Structures are given as C-alpha cells and as structure tokens.
Structure 1
Amino acid sequence: MSPPSWSSWSASDAEAWKELGYRLVLEHDLVSPAGFAALPRLVRLASGNADARRLAGEIVERAAGQHGCDELLEGCADAIVEFRGLLDQHLRTRPADCLTACRALLAVQEEYHGAAALGDFTDDFYGLDCPHCAVMVTIAIGNYGRYSASRDRDLGDVDRRDLRPAPTEQLSGVGRWMHEVTARDEENVLADGMLHLFGKAECPHCESVFSIADEYAAANRPVLR
C-alpha cells in the first residue's frame, strides 16, 4: 500500500483525518506499511495539529506489537526522535490532549506497555493474576477508589484493599520519568495516578503484595515465536 495523497484532503477536515486513520492503523491494532511511510510527514504536522499528534502516536504505539516491523521502525528513527522532542515541548504547555501526548511519549520511549496501560485515572481498571496464588485481582485507580479487590458477578468488587502508592523518592525508570513529566506540568491527577500504577497491591486471596506495573508488563509482554 502506498502512502496517502496529502494533497487530496485538508488538514483541518475531521472526516479526512478519520479516513486517513483507517488507512494507516488497520483493524486489530495493526499498522499498515503506509503508516510507517506517513510517519515523518505526520511528525512534521504534529506541532500544530492535534490529529497528527494522535495518529503519529497511535502508529508508534501499535507498531511495537508486530513482529517483523523492526526494519520499518528503523526507517522512522529520525522522525521518532523528532517526535519525542515535540511531545515534551507540547506537554509543557499543559495541553487539553495531555493524556494522548503522554501515551505517545511513552511509546516513543519504547515503553509500550505503559502507553497501553495509561488512562486518565478517573475510571481505570486492570485485571491481573496474583503472581503468588494466580487468582485474578482487580486493580482500580479512579475517582471511586484506589484499591485491589476480588470481583464478584453479583456484588461487584469485594474485599477491597487500599493500594500502596510508590513513594516519589523510590520511583525509578519509566515510572520516575513519567511522574516527573506530569508533576512538572501540574497534571496532578496523572501524577498521583502514576504513584499508584507504579506502586503495590495486596492480593485479597493470599494477602501477598506485588508490584502493579511489573505484573501488568509481564502479563502483556508479546510472546516471541
């Protein structure tokens, strides 16, 4: 598939952006070859266009899950470096699309699991198997509470245990980096959510304690064949 014809639509046309997204990001979160070819142009548009930022971020984020895309990603290396700098500068403006930009920034840093997991921390749930007893544990991070629980079909979340947010000084790696970015830009809900996402949870069944982010990454790591 060849790259789209950029002269055939207006950069301000919402329907055109929607159609372009269908061409570049296919069903089942796959990226078409045209998506990689279009990425440098999207990055050039991204500084002044939210649709270009969103679509460029989706391409980078979804490309990670596809085996055989390494060469295509390597061909976009310069554009990805440029995109990272652009996103960092954009986030300093405290933009309306902060969450989308944060997800894209995680993706260009090759923190694909973090990009997939990151929500706005108002209504986020994660289902994880306890690494010690293998029972499914529901993790909630939102306005309704920040807890681990067992999920009952009739009763909802039962036997709730408060999450244990990571102390700021103990954060490391991507958790520290993303917390610093969101705290710097006064995105307080995201910054506090990061402390919980990179904190610990207690299993309601066996009462063992485990790292939420580590177990999420382990559960969603692509299987190499």
Structure 2
Amino acid sequence: MTDWTQVVDGHGETGRVPALLDQVEREEAPEAWEELWDRLCLHGETVSPASFNALPRLAILAPTSAQALELAGAIVRCTLQHPDGEALFEGCADAIARLRQLVDQQLRTGPANYNRIFGDLLALEGQYHWSAALEDFTDDIYTVSCPHCGAEVTIAVGNYGCYSAIRDWELGDIERRALRPAPAEKLRDPGRWMHATALRDEQQGLAEGIRHVFGCAECPACASVFSIADAYTSANLPPALEAS
C-alpha cells in the first residue's frame, strides 16, 4: 500500500495525486486529467516517484479509460528521465504486465496512432532507447559510430533511401552505401518480436524499417560492415542496462 504522504509528484508535493486518481475513477473529469498529466508527466518528459506509484491505479482504470492508458504509456517512456526510474519501474511489475497486455490488444485494432502506441509497448518491454528512436520510417535518421574506425556514420531509413553515409553540412549525405536489411528469419530479439508484431498488425512499412535498423551498414570511411542495432544500442543504452 502506497504511503502517498511520502511520495512527491512533479511539483514536489505529496497527497494531491491520489485525490485526483479518486476523482477520475468516479468520473471522466477533464480538469483532473489535465492536472494529473501536469503532476505525473509534464510535457510528456518529466516524471517523479509519484508517476510510477500511480501506475497500478492507472492500470486498473486503463481497460475503460483511454486517458489512463495513454498517461501510463507516457510515464513508462520516461523511465530513464528519472535517476530512480528503473527501480521504480521494476517495483510495479504487475501493473506493467497488465498495461503491456492492454497496449498489445490496442495495437491489434490498427489505431491511427499505431506508431506512438507501438513506442509505448517498446517502453513497457524495457526497450526505452528504441521507444524514443523509432518513428514511422518515412525519414528516420540515426547517428552511430563505426565500431571499427570510430567514424560518425549517418544511417537513413525512409522514403529518401535506406543508406549509410557521412554527413557533410554543406554537401548533405555523401559516400552513401546501401543498407543490408536483416532477413526476417535471421532477426534476433528484440528486433524479432518487434518485426513479428508489426507484421501481425499489417504494418508493412514499420516491419521493413525494423529489418533495416536491425540489419547491417557499411562504414563509408573504412568499408567495414557492422550491426546498426548494436552500434545504436551501445551509444544510447545506459551503462547499467547495457551490462545487465
């Protein structure tokens, strides 16, 4: 049982969040939801201990409240924005499992905002860096370091091409090399289940983008071939998670 007198929200206050949760549980109250967002996930990027302590209540509300499910997803996406976020996240495993199931069910309906909800699922699976990075693959850009020579390599996946390049701020992307997408049958997790989920939901563009991001690139500087996903993860996954 949470002692809310000891749990601060985004305003550094205690006690207000449970009262707001009680209010939205009784009725859909726009003002209360607005204040909950302000206190639990301001601007979609600032979380607090109260944010994670609210997840069990939000998970209970989520089956009948789109607001609750969206707010819970936004909080989980911001786990790494709080110094104790990982520990607080792990402390509500039952709520996370319930939310993961609800988000997965929502994806199966083919919602208009599929990519945003897919990002929520990635965060709920602990794939925070991919949740923050993947967009719609119309013009996705990733910057990685070649693991062999250290050159800064631009990875582009989208309507303008799928390639590795050296970015020149006057000439644009130069020395382009076509990416080598991973065959679906050779994908490794998390790329494997990400790709399978996108295919299941008939999101062909997303599935193809995942194959490219979890494939290989040729470094334009030294011509070595490396795993894009491994290079990106190495640069963006916090050390504590990378070592686990």
Rate the CA distance shift 1:96–1:41 in 2: closer, same or farther, 3 A: farther
Cα pair 1:125 1:140 within 8 Å, conserved: yes
Could you tell me which residue of structure 2 aligns to residue 173 of structure 1?
Answer: 189
Cα pair 1:201 1:210 within 8 Å, conserved: yes
Cα pair 1:197 1:212 within 8 Å, conserved: yes
Where does 1:141-180 land on structure 2 (aligned, <5 Å)?
A: 141-180=157-196
Cα pair 1:65 1:222 within 8 Å, conserved: no
Shift of 1:142: 1.0
Aligned residues: 223
Could you tell me which residue of structure 2 aligns to residue 114 of structure 1?
Answer: 130
Runs of 4+ in 1 over 6 A off after TM superposition: none
Could you tell me which residue of structure 1 aligns to residue 202 of structure 2?
Answer: 186
Shift of 1:129: 0.9
Say if 2:230 is the partner of 1:214. yes
State the TM-score, normalizing by the size of structure 1.
0.89
2-structure distance, mates of 1:126, 1:99: 17
State the TM-score, normalizing by the size of structure 2.
0.82
Where does 1:1-225 land on structure 2 (aligned, <5 Å)?
A: 1=8, 2=14, 3=17, 5-6=20-21, 7=23, 11=28, 13=30, 17=33, 19-26=35-42, 29-64=45-80, 66-224=82-240
Cα pair 1:163 1:200 within 8 Å, conserved: yes
**Residue type of the alignment partner of 1:145:** G
CA RMSD for the aligned pairs? 2.3
Mark the structure with the bigger radius of gyration.
2
Unaligned runs of 5+ in 1: none
1-structure distance, mates of 2:67, 2:223: 45
Shift of 1:12: 6.9
Judge which range, 24-33 or 202-211, deviates more: 24-33
1-structure distance, mates of 2:191, 2:185: 11
Unaligned runs of 5+ in 2: 1-7, 9-13
How much identity, in percent, do the aligned residues show? 53
| 3-state SS of 2:162 partner | strand
